[in-house]
Amino acid sequence: MKGSVVITGGGTGGHLKVADAFIEEFYNRGINVIFIGSSNGQDKDWFENDRRLKKTYFLDTRGVVNKNFLGKISSVLNILSKTNYCLNLFSKFNVKTVISVGGYSAAAATFAGIAKFGCKLYLHEQNSRMGKLNQITSKFANEVFSSFDENSLIKDYPVTKEFFDNARIREKLNTIAFFGGSQGAVAINNFALKVAPRLNEMGIKIIHQTGKNDFQRVKDEYSKLNLDVDIFDFTKDIPSKMSEADFAVSRAGASTLWEMCANSLPALFIPYKYAASDHQYYNAKDLADKKMAFLCREDDLNEDLFFEAINSDINSISKKLIKSINPNAVSLIINVIAEKNK
């Protein structure tokens, strides 16, 4: 490939997981990568000291969505300023390829990729409903990759190898996991506590990721119930936690959803109701419509629906999930990019 590669985007774990998958593949191919993200959000936590990267830049950028008029104007002016900064970086490092994984962190470098003559732009859209930035920039992209778009050249989602390595077909329900994401989900936490006594009576073990803010409260409640639960606020060892489980109750962020597919883990998805464009609901609906997952609005969550789901044919669902995603998505995407950049 000609010139340096820039990977940009982030803000939240879903975008950053995809960025990480691209970085790993380029690194294994011996191609220099520059990461451009934001100093606001989780970007620095993920990549600030990453030895796989030639350079990292964390710009003081913020999103435009959910701001008042003056806030939007300020954000736009800031993005324009940072776009000019990125253009200078692109010239300095002879950047010929920009890959955006979305999120407000991606705005400046993505616009610079459009503006710079001879630079090619590629987008990866994680969700079933395209984000605002990608809606704008996709019109100028050389290629848009999406796991939910039937017209995408590569439909498989970039999931790291560990989830495939730990995959197994579920035979029966011995362990159930509640995943609210790194930030947690109080609704899922409260529901887990509600059904935990009955699950215990059924001899079903519980794994529970609470999120940092709600960890102590939930832990204390399990203690009051005198239940032995594998409870934690956050862990980077999610692949093994998923592998231990036979069923999961989870939010429906794209990365989590496809990680469960890769792991062949049946799930009841409870979408975050304030997600932009209700994308979590439509992420999960894509699977639910194919009878590969269960889906319930947070306000409609109830015990009858839950126990009906966990008593379903999880073996059949697990077999369908293992066929729903291939493990070489990142490699296939980069092969396409490399071919276009000869």
d(CA 43, CA 47): 6
Q: Is the pLDDT of residue 132 over 70?
A: yes
Q: Kindly state whether residues 171 and 267 are assigned to the same domain.
A: yes
Q: Kindly state whether residues 277 and 143 are assigned to the same domain.
A: no
Q: Kindly state whether residues 317 and 168 are assigned to the same domain.
A: yes
Q: Kindly state whether residues 260 and 307 are assigned to the same domain.
A: yes
Q: List Cα–Cα distances, 326 to 20, 176, 196, 320, in angstroms.
A: 18, 25, 34, 13
CATH, residue 219: 3.40.50.2000
Q: Is the pLDDT of residue 287 over 90?
A: yes
Q: Kindly state whether residues 87 and 107 are assigned to the same domain.
A: yes
Q: Kindly state whether residues 212 and 334 are assigned to the same domain.
A: no
Q: Kindly state whether residues 206 and 292 are assigned to the same domain.
A: yes
Q: Kindly state whether residues 147 and 166 are assigned to the same domain.
A: no
SS3 324: coil
Terminal C-alpha separation, the chain: 6
Q: Kindly state the average pLDDT of the residues 270-289.
A: 92
Q: Is the pLDDT of residue 1 over 90?
A: no
Q: Is the pLDDT of residue 64 over 90?
A: no
Q: Is the pLDDT of residue 315 over 90?
A: yes
pLDDT at residue 58 in the model: 97
- Residue-wise pLDDT for 6-59, tens only, equals 999 988 888 898 999 999 999 999 999 999 999 988 899 999 999 999 999 999
pLDDT at residue 152 in the model: 84
pTM of the model: 0.85
Q: Kindly state whether residues 119 and 178 are assigned to the same domain.
A: no
| 70 residue type, one letter | L
Q: How many domains does the chain have?
A: 2
Q: At what angle do helices 13-28 and 254-263 cross, to 10 degrees?
A: 60
Q: Kindly state whether residues 110 and 191 are assigned to the same domain.
A: no
d(CA 60, CA 146): 28
Q: Is the pLDDT of residue 103 over 90?
A: no
Q: Which domain holds residue 253?
A: 162-322
Q: Kindly state whether residues 90 and 169 are assigned to the same domain.
A: no
Q: Kindly state whether residues 252 and 273 are assigned to the same domain.
A: yes
Q: What's the per-residue H, E or C state across 104-164?
A: HHHHHHHHHHHHCCCCEEEEEECCCCCCHHHHHHHHHCCEEEECCCCCCCCCCCCCCHHHH
- Residue-wise pLDDT for 134-159, tens only, equals 899 999 999 999 988 878 888 889 98
